[in-house]
């Protein structure tokens, strides 16, 4: 398998061009974290106050403390995500403690989707989902600019069609 630059030259020694995710993804994930930690803390406080007494309701601070700890982890996780296009495949790297690198050959791609939920649209984000014949190699790249997600979808679809024609 030839590897190299995304323009298809495959010149040995070419450095991979790693691309990261948009910083807006950190804001979206922190917003969701704060929302869920607040809801969980409120529910815990109300239920413990009703069934165990007001002294036990102070345990509702635990979800807030956990949310504060996760606040920093969201940015660390965001920094770990990156992807690179090579001549014959797409590399996706992620993870802080458990580092995971996925290689998706262009010829094995069956479907490339761009999705964007209401919150993602509000923050100008999109997600690219890659589906292959083997479910184990399906991949997702969240937190992309919508224009970049569409460009990536079109490029991957074009390369996938060209590479699969030779199978």
Determine the distance from the C-alpha atom of residue 9 to the mean position of all C-alpha atoms in its chain, rounded to a whole number: 29
Tokens 């993602």 label which residue?
A: 120
Distance CA 117, CA 19 (A): 22
Tell me what pLDDT residue 11 has. 44
11 contact partners, CB below 8 Å, separation of at least 6: 4, 5
Strand partners, 101: 93
Nearest CA among 98, 100, 167 for reference residue 133: 167
Judge whether 130 and 138 are in contact, CB under 8 Å: yes
pLDDT of the residue at 14: 59
104 Cβ contact list (under 8 Å, min separation 6): 89, 90, 92, 130, 132, 137, 139
Averaged pLDDT for residues 21-37: 96
Structural contact between residues 130 and 142, judged by C-beta atoms closer than 8 angstroms: no
Query: pLDDT band at residue 6, thresholds of 50, 70 and 90?
Result: very low
- pLDDT (tens digit per residue) in 130-160: 988 777 767 899 999 999 999 999 999 888 8
- pLDDT tens digit string along 35-76? 999 999 999 999 988 888 888 888 888 999 999 999 999 999
Provide the percentage of residues in the chain whose pLDDT is more than 90. Answer: 60
Confidence band for 10, pLDDT divided at 50, 70 and 90: very low
Residue 167's pLDDT is what? Answer: 52
Dist. CA 64–CA 144, nearest whole Å: 29
pLDDT above 70 as % of the chain: 89
Could you tell me the two tokens for 140? 């997702």
């Amino acid at each position: 398998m030839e590897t190299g630059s995304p323009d298809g030259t495959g010149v040995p020694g070419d450095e991979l061009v790693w691309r990261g995710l948009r910083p807006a993804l950190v804001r979206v994930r922190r917003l969701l974290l704060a929302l869920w930690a607040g809801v969980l803390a409120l529910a815990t406080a109300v239920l413990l106050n009703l069934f165990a007494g007001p002294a036990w309701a102070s345990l509702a601070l635990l979800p807030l403390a956990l949310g504060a700890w996760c606040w920093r982890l969201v940015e660390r996780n965001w920094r770990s995500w990156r992807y690179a296009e090579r001549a014959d495949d797409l590399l996706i790297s992620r993870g802080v403690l458990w580092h995971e690198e996925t290689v998706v050959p262009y010829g094995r791609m069956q479907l490339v989707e761009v999705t964007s939920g209401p919150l993602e649209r509000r923050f100008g984000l999109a997600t690219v989902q890659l589906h292959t014949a083997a479910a184990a190699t399906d991949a997702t790249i969240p937190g992309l600019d919508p224009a970049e997600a569409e460009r990536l979808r079109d490029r991957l679809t074009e390369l996938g069609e060209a590479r699969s024609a030779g199978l």
